[in-house]
Structure formats: C-alpha cells, structure tokens
Structure 1
Amino acid sequence: MSPLGLTTSQLTSAHLVAHDDAVALVREAVRLGVDVIDTAPLYGLGEAEYIVGKALEPLADRIFLMGKIGRFEKSIVSGHGTACYRSPALISAQFEHSLRLLRRDRLDLLLLHESDWPEWWEPGAEVRGPVLDLLDRLREQGRIGGTGMFPSDPSQAPRLCGSGRFDALLFRKDMHVVRQAPLAVSLESARSQNMGVAVAASLSPSDAGRAPHGEAVQAVAREAGLSLPELGVRWLLSQEDVHTVLVGPRDRKELERAVAWAAEPPLEPALLRALADASGVRQRNPWNPEIDGAD
C-alpha cells in the first residue's frame, strides 16, 4: 500500500466538485502512484462511490479499496429507527448497494462507520453485535479482505481495538499534529492488536486554528518554513505506526501538492520533539474531559 491514500469524502457535488473533474482526479491520483482509495455511502449519499466505480473500472486490480457500512440514509432511519444498526438484512443491503455503485464484487477492507456508536452493540463492556457476525460471514465468503473500525470518538478506540475483532483502524481528519494525545493512545491500542492504521489528514490550514494547541504548533510550523497542511501530512507520515495517510483534495493542484509532500523525507527528530512540546500544553482533552490532553 502506498503511504499516501485518497479519501473521496470531498469529491462530490456537495463540495462543488463537478462529476467529470472528480473522476479525472481519482484517475490522476492513481497515475501519480496512489493505490489506496477510501470511500463510503455517506459521501454524497452514494455519489462518491459511483465516481470511484467509474474512475477505477479499468484500474480495479491496482487499487486497495476501503469502503464502509453504517450512517444509514435518513429514510431508512425514519422507517426502522436505530434498529437498522442491528439488522443484518439492512446492513447487508447497504453493502451490496455499495458494491453495485463501485462496480466491484468485493472490497479489500470494509470499515464500520461511527464504530463507537452504542446502536451497533449489545449492552455491556464486551464489543458484540449482529454487525460483527455479518462481517465475519462476508470475510469467509471472500466478499471482503478484512474488517476495520472508524470511530468518531478516539477515546473509544482502546475498547474497540481490544476486542480483537478488527484488522484495521481509520482515524478521522482532525489535524492530529495539534492533537497528538488521542492519536497516540489509539496507535498504541492498534499496535497491541497488530492492526493496520490509516489516518486522514487535513489539507485546510484553518482546521489547526480551531484546535487545542493550534497557536503553538503554528509557531513551530513558521519556524520550520512549512505550511500547516504540509506539516500535518508529513508529521503523520513520520509516525512509525501509521501505514497510510489519507488526503482529500478537491482539485489537481491540491493532489499534486500532497503527493509532493509525501515524497519528502520524514521530519527531523528535533522538529518532531518541538511539535510534541507544542502540542503537549496541559489542557483538557476535547473529546473526554476526564482525560488530560497533554502528551
């Protein structure tokens, strides 16, 4: 798998990206050496999956494709309530619809969207629910190569990883260079279970300004002569336990810039230490007030 992957969350009309441009961008990413692509039913309510399917139809064997289940469309939730997240029939139907849009008969990795939501799980500390039985059957049938989790709350990653039921962890886009503590805990949990790890990186400098420790990290970035998006991507690529960094460009210029950053060497140890110090200001964790936010 390439160290840089492409997430298609922004390649939809909702983000003002034209259909033909989105298809061309996916193909250009592959031409530039990106062989990991992430998509989901949530992205444009299937629009991103359709774009990926169209773009990759002649290139399918060259790509590691990550899909998702979960985050059902509103009409399904209104008709079935939260019981849809415990219905093998509805979960399976969503998966099959994704395959049709993607023009595939299998996925390399299937992730559980919002895997920390209690709606998926039976009451109690153990991670157990109908969705896991379905994922196991799909893997036995050869419909998926592996299973992954995609939690919205990183404080839940240790519990989910500790279940031993997942092969991979996808950590969402939150400018992790300025939020190192939650990522570090998740990486440790994934490492203990020998899980693959993909992390989404922001290409927007404004994300850091809204994050804890943002100003301190921005000062380090200025001293290093790097933009915040470049610093964020290269910092993630410098983490030994991060196997793929997913970026979500909306045009060719953003894509080419991210590919160029990925070709640069890992950040120097002195810069990594400065970033750890900058992000380690003692502050409450933004996701869980009971956990101190310092590294």
Structure 2
Amino acid sequence: MSLARSINGKRLNGLGLGCMNLSHGYGPATAPEEASALLLRALDLGVDFFDTAALYGFGANEELLGRVLAPHRRRFFLASKCGMTGIDGRRVIDGRAATIRATCDESLRRLKTDHIDLYYLHRWDKSVPIEESVGALADLVQAGKIGAIGLSEVSSATLRRAHAVHPVAAMQSEYSLWSRDPERGVLETCRELGVAFVAFSPLARGFLGGLSDTASLTPGDLRLSMPRFDAANLEANLPLAQAARRIAQEAACSLPQLALAWLLRDPIISVIPGTTRISHLEENMGAASVVLSEAQLRELDRLFQPAHIHGERYNAATLTEIDQDPH
C-alpha cells in the first residue's frame, strides 16, 4: 500500500503522529524524557507529519515539540491549531481575528519556528462568521507565518463557505471504524474540492487499540465523560472489537494496524494516531504493510455500521460545539 499523500503540495507519509496524548486529555502528561524519546523515534521511523495545537496542555505540547523537534525542523511538516485555547484553566473557543493572530504568534514562539506548515481552525466559533476567521488565517498565509489553512470538525456547508474565501488545504475530523461521521458528506466534499482529509483518533481513542474497560483510566481522562466509554455502552461495543480482531488475525496484523489500514486505503486520507509508548508507535507504523482484501473490507463495513455503535462520541454539551453534517 502506498502511503504517499499530498497536503498543500507537500508530499508526505500518510502515517503521521498526533501529539496531544503526550500533554493533554488522557491523564497526566508524559514524563519529558519519555516524550522526547518518542518524538525522536518517530522521526527515525520516517514520520514527517506532526500535529499539535495551542489547546494541548494549554501550550505545553507546542513547547515540547519546540524543545525537541526544532533542531530537526526541515525534516517534517508541522501542523498546529488555533481558535480553541486554555484560559485560566478553562477551554475557550474564540474565532475572532485578533485572537487568531495572537494565538499564532504565541504558537510560533513555543514551537521555536517562524513558520507553521498547516494551521487549523480547531473549532468554528459559531458566534463569528467562518468567513471572518478564515480571512484572518488568510492574512497569516500572506504574512508567511503559516503555509496553509486547515479546518477541524466542520460540516460540508461550512467547508464550502471557508474554501470560497481562501483555499482550504486540509480538513481534520475524528474518523475511525466506530466514528463514521465524515461519511455523511464532508469526505466527499473534500474529494470534490481537492482538500486533504486528516483522521484524528483513528484507533477510536484506544478502543481499537485494545482498551476493554475504563478501570485503568486516571481522573481527568476525557474518555470518562464520553458516552461511548460509559460502562454499559463500552461493554455493548466490545463484540465489535472482538470481531475485528479475528479479521486482523486473518490479515496477519494487529487490531490497531487493521484499523489504520482500513483508513489508509483511501489516498486522500492521512492518519495521526497518538501514543505515549514507543512500542505502540512502532506497531502503528507497521500498518503501512497491511493489505486488506475486498471481503475483509466489506465485513468491517458491515460490522461497524453507525447503527451498531452504542453511545455518542461526545457528551451533549460538546456536541453543540461541533458543526456536523446532518444524519
């Protein structure tokens, strides 16, 4: 399977690294020396696409990447995000032009670079027209501070409105066997407009990495607030993972490699699995050699129909923040 992808004219490996896990969202931050070792190992394995955000660790994740990867800046494509940051310990969505400009300057400083290759609007601030937020990002392109504009978790209609203001290079959304929302329209819109698609949480936030209960999750882990990880829903979903594991055995790969290969069969999709363990990083990179048969792909699609998934991917409050194509 070819992993070659193109984002804003840059040829990349379709297997990138989502860096959030190292600083944010899944419990305590990874120890600095362990995080550094993982990032450098990713470079050695050929990862050339690293994804971070101002939100992650409220700046700490960008600082980590700047500290570890700045000496290797020419070796990789760097993506970060604005429009959702941490203020006084709280997550705040703010898509105003002045905020976007200020966030970008702060990110450049933390990342120890003068240029971010791909800069996403992390969430659309629905109190601000998307045209205004994208216009601010277009100004950053013109100033040379960013190379391309990305959007995250928006609908087809919003993507089209944004693209009319300035070309959007990439669209990032949660996409995996058990999170199929992009198939409701935005994936085809990306294909039509020539927008790359970047799948975050491609391993279903650990569900397709072997997580079978929440006993090991620490306080503050965002999965504890997600309906799919409620005990009853998680137990109801486990047979799907067990069935997928059997298909992985047939394909001579692991369950995570199966889940990544299912996504990577589409040449417009890049994946950015996150991990805190080098062994998992190395396992994920092995997905590049996995080839799934048409019968296996059909069986996976049959098993993981959205109607078979128990629980929403976010709680009700968070879902109101996301701009989605209708069911």
- Find the aligned partners of 1:105 and 1:177 in 2 and give their Cα distance: 37
Structure 2: how far apart are the matches of 1:10 and 1:218? 25
Q: 2:287 — aligned with what? A: 261
- Give the equivalent residue in structure 2 for 1:161: 159
User: Does the C-alpha gap of structure 1 residues 286 and 134 become closer, same or farther in structure 2, counting only changes over 3 Å?
Assistant: same
Deviation (angstroms), 1:282: 4.2
1:104 counterpart = 2:130: no
Provide closer, same or farther for how the CA distance between residues 233 and 283 of structure 1 changes in structure 2, counting only shifts above 3 A. Answer: closer
AA at the equivalent of 2:100: I
Alpha-carbon deviation of 1:217?
5.4
Deviations 1:219-251 (A, max 9, x none): 143244154322211211122331x21011102
Q: What SS class does the counterpart of residue 199 from structure 2 fall into?
A: strand
Structure 1 residues 280 and 54: alpha-carbon distance in aligned structure 2, compared to 1, 3 A threshold: same
TM alignment of 1:11-50, pairs within 5 A: 11-12=22-23, 14-50=27-63
Q: Secondary structure of the residue that 1:67 maps to in structure 2?
A: strand
- Match for 1:28: what amino acid? R
Q: Does 1:118 align with 2:126?
A: yes
The aligned counterpart of 1:234 is 261
Is the CA contact (8 Å cut-off) linking 1:12 and 1:18 kept in structure 2? no
Query: By how many angstroms is 1:41 displaced?
Result: 1.1
- Residues 181/213 of structure 1: CA separation in 2 closer, same or farther (3 Å cut): farther
The whole-number CA distance in structure 2 between the counterparts of 1:143 and 1:23 is: 26
> Could you tell me how far apart the structure 2 residues matched to 1:114 and 1:290 are?
15
Instruction: Render the CA deviation track for 1:115-145: whole Å, top value 9, x for unaligned.
Output: 3x413x33xxxx422x222111111122111
**Distance (whole Å) between structure 2 residues aligned to residue 275 and residue 89 of structure 1:** 45
Q: Distance in 2 between matches of 1:223 and 1:74?
A: 45
Q: Is contact 2:184-2:326 (8 Å) kept?
A: no
Q: Does 1:53 align with 2:66?
A: yes
- Once the 2 structures are TM-superposed, how far is the Cα of residue 178 of structure 1 from its aligned partner? 2.4
Q: Structure 1 residues 257, 50: CA separation in 2 closer, same or farther (over 3 Å shift)?
A: same
Query: Which residue of structure 2 aligns with residue 7 of structure 1?
Result: 18
1:128 equivalent in structure 2: 131
Q: Which has the higher contact order (CA 8 A, sep 6+)?
A: 2
Question: Which residue is equivalent to 1:89?
Answer: 98
Please give the secondary structure, in 2, of the residue aligned with 1:57.
helix
Report the secondary structure of 1:170's partner residue.
strand
Structure 1 residue 249 corresponds to structure 2 residue 249: no
Give the drift of 1:286.
4.3
The one-letter amino acid paired with 1:250 is T
Structure 2 counterpart of 1:135, which letter?
A: L
Taking a change above 3 Å as real, the CA distance of residues 113 and 269 of structure 1, as seen in their structure-2 partners, is same
What secondary structure sits across from 2:85 in the alignment? coil
CA distances 1:93-117 after superposition (whole Å, capped 9, x unpaired): 11101100100001100000123x4
Distance 2:89 2:64 in 1: 23
Q: 1:222 aligns with which of 241, 246, 249?
A: 246
Contact 1:4 1:246 in 2 (8 A): yes
How much does 1:76 deviate?
9.6
| TM-score normalized by the length of structure 2 | 0.74
Q: What amino acid sits opposite 1:142 in the alignment?
A: G
Q: How far apart, in 2, do the equivalents of 1:185 and 1:266 lie?
A: 26
1:279: how far off?
1.9
**Distance in structure 1 (CA, Å) of the matches to 2:152 and 2:177:** 19
Where in structure 1 are there 5+ consecutive unaligned residues? none
How many Å apart are 1:290 and its aligned residue? Answer: 9.8
